[in-house]
């Protein structure tokens, strides 16, 4: 497994592989690898000749009062997991090289970046699309693997790739959950044992409304109330938002006629957890 | 010479050439080719295995009251000139394919896009950087050739390429002038014979101040006044701006200590003409 810190050197290395006709699969991460990432790596390993993993906690996607400083870091463990997972190339950039003093270029996807998480984290997705444009130019992937837990992020990046004619495909890979149903996230490590148990209520609420929809409920007002009730029964959890939206433009849906996304964000103390489910009528 | 209209087809064609190790030179244009473009093509021909020319009048870089509709067009002649100049591939996209109904992604270079022409054409450079990001992703060039007449545009694009880690180089090629000194521009075709003569005063003013600087004048206030006086002696020409700025950040310079850019924009009736000169102390 090769490890690169400089953009130019990893770019040149991969460009030389591409000239040899190798297909490049890319898994961009913020490190602190977990089973969710490993499922992306596994998928990339299956589809490609070369698997590239980036580990970069992107400062410009964090707001001034967000958890950039406390975002969990575990490089040594990450490298071990990457090696065991069959990663060929790790790109581990320095943030001063990624954002030089004269950095002033940003990529923005309007509309879908401003709803849901974008409403509560202004500028967040602009930071995400900018770093992804950079990483895709550096790594030159044929296929990029993104997790469905960050559904909004995945479709924003997909839109950017389409609109800017980037020569690559985005594959969105299903959410990986713990045995008890909690969606796996690096931020789960910042939960205490007690909070970890409380967090289960998120998945429980999603399962409950999936049942409701199966039973014929189509009114999204009812569905959101149900989720809200279940969550509010658990002390110490604060809901940021619960939304039912269409799968493409992420606009609110009142009555479920085709598959929709139920997206939820909650806070447990200082930890922000997101989850979602596709509801099919 | 191959001619493509679809982004996917030209992208696939060029990607296959790149896999064969060919070096791609790219000249992006809005068509209506003239000797300025031909000098870019000539340079690209010299440096590369394959020369790609794009012809696309980019709607999103024109403001609502600008000359998008009246921008000169001459496809037949362009194709002839391209063929004679040794172009291998012409990419001539349809604007509905370039900007599909769901287009919502933009690339912006802050700061240097808002000064000089950016002040008078708000949003113009955002349109330029967005279309260039698209074209560069489609054409996958190793080297892109841009004219120095659009100095600001060239350095904005260079900044975008650097900040977004695009795997290509920008070459900025000197201004080509008519024998009488007028900087060659597609918009010159929209001048009447009489206006064409009036336009000569632009180059005359630049030559005069080049002389002044050679003679030791360093005060840019004096230099701008001189240019303004010369231009205002010619009836029918309206100055949009005359600025002396540094070469990198395009910020105003009061005293010339190192090479600076004198940039000028004038209007002759409904035709906007730009020109510039580097002044060395």
Tell me the residues of A at the B interface, defined by beta carbons under 8 Å apart: 7, 11, 15, 18-19, 21, 100, 102-112, 129-130, 133-134, 137-138, 140, 159-160, 162-167
Does B92 share its domain with B207?
no
Beta-ladder partners of A238:
A267
Residues of B with Cβ-Cβ distance to A24 under 8 angstroms: none
The strand pair at A260-268 and B89-91 is best described as: unpaired
Q: Smallest Cβ distance to B167: which of A103, A110, A140? A: A140
**Within-domain flag for B96:** yes
User: Which two structure tokens, joined as six digits, stand for A110?
Assistant: 């309007």
Give the total number of structural domains in chain B.
2
Classify residue B58: in a domain, yes or no: yes
pLDDT of residue B78: 98
User: Which residues from B are below 8 Å from A11, CB to CB?
Assistant: 165, 167
ipTM of the complex: 0.97
Where among B122, B148, B173 does a domain terminate?
B173
CA distance, residue B255 to nearest chain A CA (Å): 24
Crossing angle of helices B200-214 and B220-232, in 10° steps, is 150
Question: What pLDDT, on the 0 to 100 scale, is given for residue B253?
Answer: 98
Task: Say which CATH number the domain at B16 has.
Answer: 3.40.50.620
Domain limit, last residue, from A140, A173, A206: A173
Chain A: residue whose CA lies nearest to B103: A163
Query: What pLDDT score was predicted for residue A246?
Result: 98
Assigned domain for B214 exists:
yes
Residues B44-74 have pLDDT tens digits of 999 999 999 999 999 999 999 898 998 999 9
- How far is A166 from A138, CA to CA, in rounded Å? 12
Q: Which residue has the tokens 């998480």?
A: A117
pLDDT, residue A126, reads 98
**For helices B7-19 and B124-139, angle between their N-to-C axes, nearest 10 degrees:** 50
**Structure letter (DSSP) for residue A141:** -
pLDDT in tens, B123-132: 999 999 999 9
- What are A72's two structure tokens? 């969990």
CA A108 vs. chain centroid, Å, equals: 17
The span from the CA of B167 to the CA of B199, in Å, is 39
pLDDT value for A187: 92
> Cβ(A88)–Cβ(A51) under 8 Å?
yes
> Is the domain of B36 the same as that of B147?
yes
Determine the pLDDT at residue B10: 98
Residues A158, A191 within the same domain: no
Range of the domain at B205: 186-279
Q: How far is CA A86 from CA A40, A45, A185, B155, B156, in A?
A: 11, 7, 21, 42, 40
Report the chain B residue with the minimal C-alpha distance to residue A103: B163
Contacts of A106 in chain B (CB under 8 A): 107-108, 110
Report how many Cβ contacts below 8 Å link chain A to chain B: 91
For residue B253, being part of any structural domain is answered with yes
pLDDT at B21: 92
For residue B74, the model assigns a pLDDT of 93
Q: Do A163 and B102 touch (CB under 8 A)?
A: yes
Contact yes or no for B106 and A107 at CB 8 A: yes
Q: How does DSSP classify residue A177?
A: B
My answer on whether B165 and B214 are in the same domain is no
Q: Of B186, B151, B185, give the one whose Cα is nearest residue B170.
A: B151
Q: What is the pLDDT of residue B36?
A: 98
Q: Is B37 a catalytic residue?
A: yes
What is the pLDDT at residue B244? 98
Of B15, B105, B140, the CB nearest to A159: B105
Both structure tokens of B109: 């270079």
Task: Assess if residue A178 is contained within a domain.
Answer: no
Chain B residues close to A19, C-beta within 8 Å? 18-19, 21
Q: Let me know whether A12 and A130 are in one domain.
A: yes
- B111 closest CB neighbour out of A7, A104, A112: A104
Q: Are residues B98 and B77 in the same domain?
A: yes
Query: Are the Cβ atoms of A11 and B165 closer than 8 angstroms?
Result: yes
**Pair B10, B145 in one domain:** yes
Choose the final residue of a domain: B173, B199, B228: B173
Do A192 and A166 belong to one domain?
A: no
Q: Do B112 and A104 touch (CB under 8 A)?
A: yes
Cβ–Cβ below 8 Å for A103 and B163:
yes
A209 within a domain of the structure (yes/no): yes
Asked if B165 lies within 8 A of A134 by C-beta distance, the reply is yes
CB A35 within 8 A of CB A44: no
- A104, A105, A163: residue with CB nearest B105: A163
Per-residue pLDDT, A59 = 96
Strands A89-91 and A237-246: unpaired
Q: Which residues of chain A have pLDDT under 70?
A: none
User: What's the average pLDDT block by block, 10 residues per block, for chain B (281 residues)?
Assistant: 98 96 97 97 98 97 92 95 98 95 98 97 98 98 98 98 98 97 94 95 97 97 98 95 98 98 96 97 92
Q: What's residue A204's pLDDT? A: 97
B29 CA to centre of own chain: 8
Domain of A263, CATH number, reads 3.30.1300.10
Contacts of A103 in chain B (CB under 8 A): 163
- Which residues lie across from B145 on neighbouring strands? B171
Q: How far is B172 from chain A (nearest CA, A)?
A: 20
Compute the distance between CA of residue B112 and CA of residue B250 in angstroms, rounded to an integer: 6
Q: How far apart, in whole angstroms, are the C-alpha atoms of residue B177 and residue B224?
A: 22
Q: Which residues pair with A252 in a beta bridge?
A: A245
Angle at A206 between CA A203 and CA A207, to 5 degrees: 85
- B40/B155 same-domain check: yes
Q: Are residues B142 and B199 in the same domain?
A: no
Closest CA to B165 of A13, A5, A134, A160: A134
- Does A159 lie in the same domain as A226? no
Same domain, A57 and A154: yes
How far is residue A231's CA from residue A239's CA, in Å, rounded to a whole number? 8
Q: Say what the pLDDT of residue A118 is.
A: 97
**B179 domain residue, yes or no:** no
pLDDT of B33: 97
Rounded to whole angstroms, the Cα distance separating A33 from A114 reads: 28
Residue of A nearest to B11 (CA): A167
Contact B107 A106 (CB under 8 A): yes
Q: Is residue B123 part of a domain?
A: yes
């Amino acid at each position: 497994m090769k490890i690169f810190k400089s953009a130019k050197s990893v770019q040149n290395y991969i460009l030389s592989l591409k000239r040899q006709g190798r297909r490049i699969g890319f898994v961009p991460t913020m490190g602190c690898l977990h089973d969710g990432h490993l499922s992306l790596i596994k998928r990339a390993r299956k589809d490609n000749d070369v698997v590239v993993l980036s580990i970069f906690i992107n400062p410009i996607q964090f707001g001034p009062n967000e958890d950039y400083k406390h975002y969990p870091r575990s490089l040594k463990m990450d490298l071990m997991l990457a090696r065991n997972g069959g990663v060929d190339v790790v790109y581990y950039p320095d943030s001063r090289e990624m954002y030089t003093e004269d950095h002033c270029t940003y990529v923005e996807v309007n509309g879908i970046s401003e709803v849901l998480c974008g409403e509560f984290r202004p500028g967040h997705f602009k930071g995400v699309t900018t770093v992804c444009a950079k990483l895709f130019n550096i790594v030159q992937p044929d296929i990029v693997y993104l997790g469905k837990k960050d559904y909004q992020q995945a479709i924003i990046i997909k839109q950017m790739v389409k609109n800017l004619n980037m020569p690559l495909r985005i594959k969105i890979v299903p959410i990986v959950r713990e045995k008890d149903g909690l969606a796996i996230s690096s931020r789960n490590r910042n939960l205490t044992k007690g909070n970890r148990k409380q967090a289960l209520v998120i998945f429980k609420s999603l399962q409950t409304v999936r049942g409701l929809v199966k039973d014929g409920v189509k009114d999204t007002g009812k569905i959101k109330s149900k989720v809200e009730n279940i969550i509010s029964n658990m002390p110490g959890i604060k809901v940021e938002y619960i939304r039912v939206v269409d799968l493409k433009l992420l606009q609110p849906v009142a009555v479920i006629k085709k598959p929709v996304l139920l997206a939820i964000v909650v806070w447990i103390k200082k930890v922000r957890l997101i989850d979602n489910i596709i509801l099919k009528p």
